[in-house]
Structure 1
Amino acid sequence: MRLLSRLSLWVLASVVSLGLVGLIAAAVAYAMLAPGLPSVETLRDVRLQVPLRVVSREGGLIAEYGEQRRIPLQSEDLPPQLVQAFLAAEDDRFFDHPGVDYQGIARAVRHLLLTGEKGPGGSTITMQLARNFFLTRDQTFQRKAQEILLALKIERTLSKEEILELYLNKIYLGQRSYGVGAAARIYYGKSVDELDLAQTAMIAGLPKAPSAYNPIANPPRAKIRRAYVLGRMLAEGYITPEEHAEAVDAPITAEVHAAPVEVSAPYVAEMVRQTMVAQYGEEEAYTGGYVVRTTVDGRMQAAADRALRDGLRAYDHRRGYRGPERQVELTGDEDESEREALLADHPRYGGLEAALVLSVDDEAELARVWVRRHGELELPFEGMAWARPYLSRTTRGPAPENVSDVVSVGDIIRVDRAPDVPRLAAIPAVEGSVVALDPENGAVLALAGGFDFFRSSFNRAVQSRRQPGSAFKPFIYAAALEQGYTPASMLSDTPIVMHDESLETSWRPTNYSGRVYGPTRFREALVHSRNLASIRLLRNVGIDETLDYLARIGLDTSVMPNGLSLALGSGEMTPLAMTQGYALFANGGFRVMPHFIDRIESAQGEVHFQARPPVACVDCSRMQVQADLQEEAGSVALQPVADSVLPATDAYLMTSIMQDVIQRGTGRAAQRLGRNDLAGKTGTTNDGRDAWFVGYNNRVVASAWVGFDNNDQLGPRETGASTALPIWTDFMEQALNGVPDAPLRQPDGLVTVRIDPEDGRRVRAGEGGMFEIFREDNLPDVAPRGSGGSGSGSREQDIF
């Protein structure tokens, strides 16, 4: 009995001693490790790395930039079943332990003693959070001790709900997704509250090994892990046996879902990205969670892309089919993966899919093709009958009579599957741009800088300087109005030969038609784009005086010639600059500044930047007085007023003339829109390398430009009217859909009088003539009695 008592005392003393040793060891470890531990107070202000998001003015996603994909969620946004799945899989005693689960640690120690290897069971959600925010993933006892100490500190600092929210937003879940919000979007294209039970369990199984259990990279192992999570949920009573059975048998539906782009505007997105990197630095821009709201209108942007692509393809069809993109040898035994491999280097561009020709059947009048990521398709001859061979920029070959005249087995071609009948297509060699601005404040409503950004990121709308040709003439004529010319002033359209220093040669300009028209009224000279009359007008006004005027209204004269070729648009301007210039006519003479960023917000919704662009206004004096009063009172001022650089009377007169361009000049094709408030001007360079149309009403000002990047000629009969105007018209048809006609209001200071169309002088009442608009302080002389009334206007051949 004494021996038993002594033994019991010895055991008790040993346990106490071991306990004391353990406490001393723990105290020593704490004393050594605690000073080096980070402050967990930082978790209260933690900023998760969230990618840069670019959205349209309506909020539709345009692009997302950043290595880490994350969609932060608040506690109230986390579905209970999702929380239960993670608790069941990772930490079923989360709400019971103080940050360290001693039962779990005991299991881990037992596994180590029995196997000699580190095993599972020791890490709680709080410990994982400590590791993810503060520690490395090195499997050392020191790191584990630090993890335990940090977990205890975290539990004393944050509530369980705060810990769980941070964990579910921070945890890495594969496929560059961080947090459950991003994982749900990337694996299933859903928000967390849209996931079904099987999908929820799949995501909850990922933290253990995101690569090994990835449902995309390793579906079999992922399914095993999902079954484990579902089993744990059943054991914890979170789901019923019926729900468990159904979810275990559910197929794996995970696949990579890119960010759900709602508005395709990659050229604008790249402009925003460059701006944000320049302003905030690359790391901050990509991880700061900024949301950049652009000025882009989603509907107009879609219309701009569609109009430009259709127009460029129409040009390409007119010039002829340039043949397949590539030719490969086929054995006829290729399986699906081999066919896809042959098309791998031919991504989708501009809505056109790459296709491999498998067989050609002239008798059945079709070809069988394999379309990338779609499968086999029959391409009928009807869809390729347009494909006359391209021979040169001036000639095409004969029209095809059979399928074999167009395609051969092994050709890699393009197919347009959008029409009812699939059509042979081709990626155009020519390029172009469409730019649309709000003339009131310069906001970029739509911008397409090329056929497809992912084929060529060069943004022709803002980076390409091209000669505007006759589309530049309205600026020359506006300068003449300031010098006292009127729409009825007579210009001389007669041959001219001179030595132009800017060209260093003798210059013999001609009209597009090769004809001359003699005395021509100012209005008619611009409506019909008379080159000779325009040159003489510039010479009379003065080159230096005109360049000064152009600089004053905001045009960049540093790239303009100091010579008479300026009258024909031989300077260089970007499509964006041309569009900005025409906004002067659309808004009554105010210089507005193009801008594409409306607002920059932080991840928390704080506004870092709000655009306040100068705006055109009708009663600017009243608006400015109100702004000054508000500023003096210390409140937010109204929008600043744009500079008035063109008299409202001159803007109206130019609009009136350019409306005639559409009503009876080179822009007549735009009449199909059935509107009376459109004005604009065609433009083609003398050597046919650039085709333009720039036009507007008081709601939208837009330009369409077409040309080759290498500055090749477009070819015969490719002019602003035939090549660029259809693009502009297609765009404006959609942009102004549902918008009522709103002609520019005639400002004070203008009067309408009758003139003799032959010489532009006023005629007396009852002597016939035609109406013209003048500034009331600049009326023409009265014609001698009996000389007027020669008709309602000259009928001249339209030229370009």
Structure 2
Amino acid sequence: MGWYRKLFRRLFSWFEVVAIVGIAIALFVFGVGVIWATLSPLPAIENFESRRVAESTKIYDRTGNIILYDVHGSMRRTEVPIENISRYIRNATVAIEDDTFYQHNGFRPLSFIRAVLVNLHLRGGIAGQGGSTITQQVVKNALLTKDKTIVRKAKEIILALRLERIYTKDEILQTYLNEAPYGGTLYGAEEASRYFFGVSAADVTLAQSAYLAALPQAPTRYSPYGTRRSELDDRKNLVLRRMYELGYIREEEYRAARDETVVFQSREETGIKAAHFVFYVREYLEDTYGPDVVTNGGLQVITTLDYDLQKKAEEIVRERALENKTKFNAENAGLVAIDPKTGQILAMVGSRGFFDPDIDGMVNVTVMPRQPGSAFKPFVYATAFEKGYTPETVVFDLKTQFTAHCAPNDLETHDDCYAPGNYDNVFRGPMTLRDALAQSVNVPAVKTLYLAGVEASIGLARRVGITTLADAGRYGLTLVLGGGEVYLLDMTAAYATFANDGIKNPPVAILRITDDVKKTLEEYKAKSERVLLL
């Protein structure tokens, strides 16, 4: 075991050297930034009181005339003194955002060094990793540009130190809690408390406060009305655990709040159109440009949505979903419409009622994994055609046992034996592939998958637009009958490839994005690719 200890000591020493060198580099780089920032003009701290409110981001339909969603709208914010903000909210925010807020003087050197090291390693800069105190966040939002440079970071720290000498901790925290983003048009703890829970910021419970503190880091991602509610719940529990660890609450309070079921108020339908599509677009914007740019950057987003078609799609989904409830006891439905020539999403309906809690209507089923049933069959037949089989190739529609170690005359599906039937329990004898696909007959489809191969069929499906089914080894012959989960958006895009003579256009939701000075950040360009020879 001596060699093992020597190797461990060598590795440990190597890690120490790397850490020391990294810290030295970080300190040198930051030192240069501090010198430069000191020599550069700094914003007057007096500007803190007269700062300009950020401009909202607007999301439009494809004409640019219909606003689907105004991220700020009427700027829903009510400023209140810190005495009118629950101590639960204050402590929860400090616990998750800046746990040494009451001890530091505006800057945490160790947190900053860690952030610099991570970002130098990951991105060659200091843009991505956190490390800012609450005071720094207030300064950044009120006095500085959004440039992600060392000089800007140094200015932020210098101004944070100055701000701490002028304002009390409560004044700084009050500013933060009155201006923090909580999603959409909601700014400030007071407005967020009333919107989500119907009470003032002074009257929220511990569990409600933990939810509020969880939101500002990524308000769209963690929105209680989006598709990531479980992530919001996890972050709420993290807030509570940090409050307990820091001594803000007792263990019994922590456990009770962690297990409490918190009900959010229903969202008003006014002010948002094509809600599932809007949240789909917002998530893309935040992933691409960051939550701060989306919230404060004044973006103008022209989407691909045809609002007239969208209204018809919503009506169709409501009607058909109710029919499905009567016929199949299925209460929900979704719809996606794509232009095959461009890949542009013209309509997206994620449920029959966005504001209907009984069906989890805010969940966008078009981007949730679902089994496609027989809708998967065309991918298998297309694979068979690529392998040389033709529409006139004959297969036999007979009751068949497909599991090799099961008796051929055992024509039932049980245990690990697989002998599928047809939807009408009728077997038609010899059939061409053309007729088998046209009539959606199961047994010939399974035989065609056997001939085409599972891996090859999955490969073709992914080629034409399916983004799931990455591990081909997980699937067998049931795949052709819908045994693998896919997204409705992907299925629509894949079928659009068939409709476009084998030319794929990836689904796209945005035509153009401009910033607050009308600079074009992004513009639609066709990304056509031939993936099938039809």
Q: TM-score, normalised by structure 1?
A: 0.34
Please state which structure has a larger fraction of its residues in strand.
Answer: 1
- For CA contacts below 8 A with separation 6 or more, give which structure has more relative contact order: 2
Please state which structure has a larger fraction of its residues in helix.
Answer: 2
Whichever of the two has the greater Rg, that structure is 1
